[in-house]
């Protein structure tokens, strides 16, 4: 079952390793790097702070996590085969082939929808310089599989990595209540060492109408020694 909060927790807590850490030979100190949250846990920005605490609680109690039963309950009984056509009658044409299906996003509550926004913002920020290539994408997915994420969550992550949201989409989907969280999540996802990344965060902050004092406080906390 799709678990956005667990995925966000792993991204924040470093469970995906430093999958974004080797772009063009540079080491990126990011939310995806190895190690504990350290000083980042003191960021305490709304939903993001709650997600950090929830992930730490989850990681300490993962052995006691109950097994989730897939939705839909027991499989339906098999439909009986129709009787054969009368002797001598023409066989009916075969039914048309079913269209390929894709995994639909499950119905999410308000909190889960907000968590999805943060995940998408982090991936979009990591793609700010246009460098989540196929090799990096597979590396991220491999680490995610090794961490035990379920098939639905992996499918969501794969789709987002294949087509990260644009800056305009991140801004359009944001809300004033989540502005600080979205900016903080994006800033945690990268180390700003290219002009493209700096401009991306500048435009994100502007688009979200984030108070400059709030942004400065977030930036200072992220930049503080770990």
Q: What is the pLDDT of residues 90-106, one digit of tens each?
A: 544 544 444 434 455 66
CB atoms closer than 10 angstroms to residue 211: 12
- Alpha-helical (H) ranges within the chain are 4-13, 46-60, 110-126, 134-146, 151-162, 167-173, 179-188, 195-207, 212-223
Q: What is the pLDDT of residues 124-137, one digit of tens each?
A: 998 988 778 888 88
Q: Which of the pair, 83 or 133, is modelled with greater confidence?
A: 133
Q: What is the pLDDT of residues 133-150, one digit of tens each?
A: 888 888 888 888 888 889
Q: What is the pLDDT of residues 3-57, one digit of tens each?
A: 888 888 878 765 554 554 334 334 344 434 433 444 444 454 555 655 555 555 5
Residue 155 has pLDDT above 90, yes or no: yes
Q: Which long-range contacts (CB under 8 A, 24 or more apart) does 62-69 make?
A: 68/1, 68/150
């Amino acid at each position: 079952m799709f678990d956005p909060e667990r995925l966000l927790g792993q991204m924040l807590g470093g469970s995906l390793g430093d999958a974004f850490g080797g772009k063009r030979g540079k080491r990126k100190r990011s939310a995806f790097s190895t190690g504990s949250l350290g000083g980042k846990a003191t960021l305490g920005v709304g939903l993001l702070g709650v997600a950090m605490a929830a992930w730490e609680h989850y990681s300490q109690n993962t052995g006691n996590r109950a097994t989730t039963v897939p939705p839909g309950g027991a499989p339906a009984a098999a439909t009986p085969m129709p009787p054969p056509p009368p002797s001598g009658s023409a066989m009916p044409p075969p039914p048309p082939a079913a269209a390929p299906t894709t995994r639909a996003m499950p119905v999410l509550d308000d909190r889960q929808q907000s968590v999805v926004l943060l995940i998408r913002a982090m991936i979009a920020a990591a793609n700010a310089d246009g460098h989540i290539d196929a090799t990096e994408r597979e590396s991220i997915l491999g680490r995610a599989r090794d961490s035990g994420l379920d098939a639905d969550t992996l499918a969501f992550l794969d789709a987002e990595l294949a087509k990260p949201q644009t800056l305009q989409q991140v801004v359009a989907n944001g809300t004033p209540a989540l502005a600080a969280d979205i900016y903080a999540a994006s800033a945690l996802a990268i180390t700003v060492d290219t002009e493209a990344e700096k401009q991306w965060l500048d435009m994100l902050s502007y688009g979200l109408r984030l108070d400059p004092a709030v942004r400065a406080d977030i930036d200072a906390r992220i930049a503080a020694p770990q």
